[in-house]
Amino acid sequence: MSQAVESVAAHVEHAAYPSRAIAWYSTITLAFLYWLSILDRFIISLLVGPIKRDLGITDVQFGLLQGFAFAVTFAIFGLFAGVLADRYSRRWVIFLGVSIWSLATAACGLAKNFWHLMLARVGVGAGEATLNPCATSMLTDLFPRERLTMAMAIYAMGATVGMGTALLFGGLIVEVVSQSATIALPVVGTVPSWQAVFFIVGVPGAVLSLLVFTLPEPARRGQRVTTAEGRPRQSYRELLRFINTRRRFFICHYAGFMFASTIISGGGAWYAAHMTRAFGWSPGQIGLALGLTIAGAGVIGKIICGTVVDAMYRRGLRDAQIRWYAGCLVAATPIGIMAFTSANPWVFVFGLGAFLVLLSPLAACSSASLNLVTPNELRGAGIAMFGAVGGILGAGGGPVLMAAAGEFLFGGESAIGKGVAVTIAICCPLGAMCLALGFRAMREAMAEAERWDRS
């Protein structure tokens, strides 16, 4: 029985991949859903002023809303979603997640105090936690190893374009609705204009969630049969056992990308507020400048990353993903410090663009390197666990750390840019060092994974 199942598993592993048309259609659709999630996640960053005014909250509390309230929930529900991704239809898990986060975004528009808004943000985090474990698992089954980083980069463009769109179109929406103190909405009634923004961006997502059913459910590749009955073991106990066999790689990977996540997620929470406070720009001006900069830099950075890293992999560099990103962290450090300490808004905008060209491929490099090493039946759980650790410590702590540095080291809200710069100066070099320490360990882990593929 066991040999028969192993034979079937080997047949799936070596069967032809889906056509490129199907694989790229799936990638673009998943990237669109990623775009939607980031739009819903970051629209709140353009509403700092009116939310603080109406709900009476501080910068640190706002950092909690953007950071820990979202990230802790994202981490906890992500762990659950990872197991679902490994055991059940990944399309259905994504459908449920998109529906939940879209309705929770709309619920932000019903908040009457800090705790109401925090509860709604918890819902956003819970829904969005389902996407990455399922989507990255599907992509790894749709593309051969030598093209996976580019596929992950295209998928991750959804995040960059989502954040850019949140700032670009979100800024325009905020500008339009702010012309009136209140907005009358169907069913809900009259609400403050900032609350209407959440309904405008949240409600359509519940319908768009149906797009996932236009995708195939790809055959699972690279499973390792480990039970006496010939079934793959799918649990966090098995994942931890696997991680223990490659401790150095996982420690260096988690730590390096956690420091990078602190910078990317933390900075993203404060770009708009920094430009308002330092340069006096309006939401419309900020949305246009930041939206184009973030989207453009992210697309350029991910295309460069995917092209170069896949070429490095084909040349035999099996640590290509983390080697590339470690170099990017080093190069980005002086650029980020210069941008966030400049008194010239255009130096900030162009510096931020260069900074993000280098660092925006974080998700592509981290997910591809993890999934290339991890057995198929543990990939959903593996991405979820990485998201939990990086989310709580990196994405969750980043906004709060930057706000605290600005307030306590430099004396107030107007110094948020300096708080971001200090965090960049510390976290970027540390992240690069951690990744560099894992080069050899990744090469060894990749050699084992490729031996299994050939067996």
The DSSP secondary-structure symbol of 33 reads H
Given pLDDT bands bounded at 50, 70 and 90, which one contains residue 9?
very low
Q: Report pLDDT for 231.
A: 55
Given pLDDT bands bounded at 50, 70 and 90, which one contains residue 174?
low
In 3-state terms, what secondary structure has residue 215? coil
Q: Report pLDDT for 1.
A: 38
The predicted model gives 360-377 an average pLDDT of 89
Number of H helices, E strands in the chain: 21, 2
Q: Which two tokens stand for residue 255?
A: 């730590």
Q: Does the 23-215+238-454 domain belong in CATH 1.25.40.10?
A: no
- Strands 189-192 and 182-185, by their bridges, are antiparallel
Average pLDDT, the chain: 83
Q: Which two tokens stand for residue 22?
A: 């199907």
The predicted model gives 162-184 an average pLDDT of 67
CB-CB contact of 52 with 278 (8 Å): no
Which tops the pLDDT comparison, 103 or 49? 103
Domain ranges, ordered by start, for the chain = 23-215+238-454
Cα 173 from chain centroid?
24
